[in-house]
Amino acid sequence: MIKYLDLQKINASFEPELSDALLRISRSGWYLHGEATARFEQEFADYCGTPHCIGTGNGLDALTLIFLAYRESGMMNAGDEVIVPANTYIATLLSILRTGLKPVLCEPSSETCNIDVAHAETLITPRTRAILPVHLYGRLADMQGVHDLATRYGLKVIEDAAQAHGAIYNDSLQGRENRSLRAGNLGDAAAFSFYPAKNLGALGDGGAITTHDATLAAIVRSIANYGSTEKYIHQYQGINSRLDELQATVLSVKLSRLDKDNARRREIARLYQENIHWSRLELRSTVNIGGINESNVFHIFPVFSSRRNELQRHLAAHNINTQIHYPIPPHHQEALKQEYGMQQLPITERIHNEELSLPIYPLLTNEEAGQIIDCINTFA
């Protein structure tokens, strides 16, 4: 049986450091807002190249806190619009809705599955305040295009980097020549998730915000702590969202191997790219556009087929597990249907109908990848 993702195997590969680190925290008597969290925040900020990193309870909170902080600072008001790709995990949209803002759904490019900047421009109104690119499947969005648009219309750029820890933008970004150009450092603020299955995953929930904006960072940190910077003094109607000491220490251990793990994901992607009989099977992959390089950390290896469900069953019959990201697009979900259900989003809908994710976690062996390739190539 080839698992889609083997978290037990992944986390075992960090032993004995992982258990040592956990034991140290459990014996320390200090579990929240402590040294391990401060240390991880500093390490992750340095890794991304931003001066600020604030740990949060999860990725949804990280996104939500960014918008709450813009609301509190008066830079965004109720009903203001945020342009966001229609093909994303629902969390991206919920963070906007939860903060009284309005998601405006944008079709992606069918080649990259990331936001189509030309289409985004057609959605701009006097109420547009921000654009929220999602680096879907681990591939960076067209950030130069996003920046040009944001500069022209005075928009904030917020990255949903929940699937792209460590991805590096290849081209220079105008106005940011002296910056390290990793995900998390490509906009005004970025949100990460450390959900166990992400490229950098905790042993439970976790998230973070990275930013260059010191004012935003301070407001976010306060709102995440009940709106308080000084004990029992509350400036905002905050929430409680913290990265705890146990998760932070796990993340420090795992961050040290992130680049290596991402490189291994790219090796597996290359095996798939070079050995799957794409044309014979009329399979498509976003990977075949733009090549395999550091701007893609392959959180997911997507293939697209009009016979997706059959292909998934064929692989399952040969003991190979796959997943679909995602079976139902957000605008067709019960939770959002009333407001968004009537929108025509054919590219988004096609992606959800045709996408299949192949196993690509760093500890997948070449032999297993070979079996997966053979099995796909025998699909008639």
- Residues lying near ligand PLP in the complex (CB under 6 A) are found at 58-60, 88-89, 91-92, 134, 160, 162-163, 193, 195, 205, 207
Q: What are the residues whose beta carbons fall under 8 Å from the beta carbon of 77, sequence distance 6 or more?
A: 71
Quote the least distance from Cβ 139 to ligand PLP, whole Å.
12
Residues present in the chain in total: 380
Nearer to ligand PLP, 116 or 160 (CB): 160
Give yes or no: 198 in active site.
yes
CB 187 within 8 Å of CB 157: yes
Other CB atoms within a 10 A radius of the CB of residue 218 amount to 14
CB 65 within 8 Å of CB 251: no
From residue 374, how far is each of 1, 223, 287, 317, 371 by CA, in Å? 15, 52, 19, 13, 5
Determine the residue with CB nearest ligand PLP. 59
Nearer to ligand PLP, 200 or 287 (CB): 200
Quote the least distance from Cβ 243 to ligand PLP, whole Å.
11
Kind and range of the H or E element at 219? helix 214-224
For 173, phi and psi rounded to 5 degrees? -105, 125
Out of 102, 198, 260, 337, the active site residue is 198
For 237, phi and psi rounded to 5 degrees? -80, 85
Query: Sign of dihedral through CA atoms 197, 41, 85, 343?
Result: positive
92's tokens: 């991206």
N-to-C CA span, the chain:
22
Nearer to ligand PLP, 108 or 207 (CB): 207
Q: SS3 of 308, please?
A: helix
Quote the least distance from Cβ 106 to ligand PLP, whole Å.
15
| Helix (H), strand (E), coil (C) string for 93-119 | HHHHHHCCCEEEEECECCCCCCECHHH
Nearer to ligand PLP, 299 or 369 (CB): 299
Nearer to ligand PLP, 93 or 369 (CB): 93
**How far apart (Å, rounded) are the C-alpha atoms in residues 67 and 81?**
11
Quote the least distance from Cβ 370 to ligand PLP, whole Å.
28
Quote the least distance from Cβ 63 to ligand PLP, whole Å.
6
Quote the least distance from Cβ 59 to ligand PLP, whole Å.
2
**How far apart (Å, rounded) are the C-alpha atoms in residues 267 and 294?**
11
Nearer to ligand PLP, 300 or 369 (CB): 300
CB 349 within 8 Å of CB 358: no
Nearer to ligand PLP, 44 or 195 (CB): 195
Q: Kindly report whether the peptide bond that precedes residue 326 is cis, defined as omega within 30 degrees of 0.
A: yes
Quote the least distance from Cβ 299 to ligand PLP, whole Å.
8
Which residues are annotated as catalytic? 198
